[in-house]
Homo-oligomer: A and B are copies of this chain.
Amino acid sequence: MSRIDGRTPEQLRPVSLERGWSKHAEGSVLVSFGDTKVFCTASVTEGVPRWRKGTGEGWVTAEYAMLPRSTNTRGDREAVRGKIGGRTHEISRLIGRSLRAVIDFKALGENTVVLDCDVLQADGGTRTAAVTGAYVALADAITWAQHKKIVKAGRKPLTGTVSAVSVGIVDSVPLLDLCYEEDVRAETDMNVVCTGDGRFVEVQGTAEAEPFARDELNALLDLAVTGCADLEAAQREALAHTL
């Protein structure tokens, strides 16, 4: 069986990670998972939020948003509505937690990195593209901070790599990296965040229609681990050259 866009079930969409997309940010990446495009910037500031002062530890956080016309029909701006929706909150928190899983806060010192992930074009998997791209922006920002001596010499705040991918069951077939059209039809939808060594940072599976059985869950996890390994290779390749 071939998918809408001709992929095999266990195939990612074309992934691209363009570094240096902003002249202002300490790290920046335009990440594409097929037609899904997310602009990720990493902003370093010295100092930490009040509740963390004096601990000697840094902080990493993230904000996710969609441009109003990143989707097929225009959505209202959350700034205009005056409040952030639940989905936006949820994804921002997921990205933050995912990146914090590979940070040594002591090594970062009392510095903060904010990841902004703005979806320019959405075609399914925006949150997983955001995690994957934000990791690369974060890596660049930390390299910058090391050069600027904001991070102390010899300290390695980054303890590993992290990437994310969606998996789902469509017409009873487990698929990797769903595009929007597949996502809408999925019976089960799961977002998985893995470290480079194949362990899990987040597993979020939701039955959209029918509850899913343990063996379906297992099949999805297998697919996700493979997909994250491919994404980690793409991250490594993107980061291979000096900016």
Contacts and interface: CB of A to CB of B under 8 A. Distances in A.
Contacts of A101: 207, 211
Interface in A11-58: 22-25, 28, 35, 39, 41, 43, 45
Nearest to A22: B121
Interface centre among A69, A121, A160, A194 (most CB of B within 10 A): A69
Given A69-B24, A69-B43, A70-B24, A211 B205 contact: no
A199 B188 CA distance: 12
A63 B79 CA distance: 11
Each complex incorporates copies of this chain amounting to: 6
21 contacts: A22-B70, A22-B120, A24-B70, A24-B122, A41-B68, A43-B74, A63-B80, A68-B114, A79-B84, A79-B88, A82-B83, A85-B89, A160-B211, A200-B205, A200-B213, A201-B206, A201-B211, A202-B204, A203-B204, A204-B204, A214-B225
Interface of A: 22-25, 28, 35, 39, 41, 43, 45, 63, 65, 67-74, 77-80, 82-90, 92-93, 97, 101, 114, 116, 118, 120-123, 160, 190, 194-195, 197-207, 210-214, 217, 221, 225
